[in-house]
Amino acid sequence: MSEEANILVSGATGRTGGAAIDELLKMGHKVRAYVRSNDDRAEALRSWGVEIAVGDFTDIDQIRSAMEGIKSAYFLHPITPGILGAAAYFAQAAKEAGVTSIVNMSQISARRESTSHAAQDHWISERVFDWSPSGLYVHTTRRKSGPRRRSSSRSRTVAMRRSAPMTRAA
């Protein structure tokens, strides 16, 4: 594996993104974190050997720049408004950058018929990735909303590891 990162993890300074980075590093992967600000949390990731790309999900050029040289990407958007545009920008940037696989972290209640707009938006964001160009492998895994349990982060990371076509370092 080259010295440059080939896996991009968004939401990297949160619990789920941080757990994914931890597992990927244990497996010997080089990781680039997509973070909103260059703060103490980003510095902590740097100290682990993680590349940092600072940007926002509302700026397709920043996302595209972060994906340069990336083969696999982890899309993790907070349960806040803006996921639909973020998913569309992420998918388009991945296409332009030649990313071959995306893992999309959704939420367990994501359904068309949900009474929650946040859950509906997550369901639609799943469709955005479904419509992504052929040749791009997308796996959606769902997380439970509400109080987080420590043990659940590992199971989500394992699902990502099995689904994305990544190679282990020698």
- Token pair 């968004």 is found at 10
> Is there a domain that residue 54 lies in?
yes
> Is there a domain that residue 136 lies in?
yes
**pLDDT (tens place) for every residue of the chain, 170 residues total:** 347 999 999 999 999 999 999 999 999 999 999 999 999 999 999 999 999 999 999 999 999 999 999 999 999 998 889 999 999 999 999 999 999 999 999 888 899 999 999 999 999 999 999 888 756 778 888 776 554 433 333 333 333 333 333 333 33
* Residue type (1 letter), 10: S
> Is there a domain that residue 100 lies in?
yes
Q: What 3-state class would DSSP assign to 168?
A: coil
> Is there a domain that residue 2 lies in?
no
Number of domains the chain is built from: 1
Distance CA(120)–CA(115), nearest Å, equals: 8
Q: Are 104 and 83 in contact (CB under 8 A)?
A: no
What residues make up the domain containing 65?
Answer: 7-163
> Is there a domain that residue 16 lies in?
yes
> Is there a domain that residue 81 lies in?
yes
For residue 69, what are its two tokens? 């040289």
DSSP state of 67: T
Here the CATH number for the domain that contains residue 33 is: 3.40.50.720
**51, burial (CB in 10 Å: exposed 0-12, middle 13-18, buried 19+):** middle
Instruction: Name the phi and psi angles at 24, rounded to 5.
Output: -65, -40
pLDDT at 57: 96
For residue 125, what are its two tokens? 């964001």
* Residue type (1 letter), 85: G
> Is there a domain that residue 168 lies in?
no
> Is there a domain that residue 52 lies in?
yes
pLDDT at 146: 52
Distances (CA, A) of 56 to 11, 12, 73: 11, 13, 15
CA of residue 88 relative to chain centroid, distance: 13
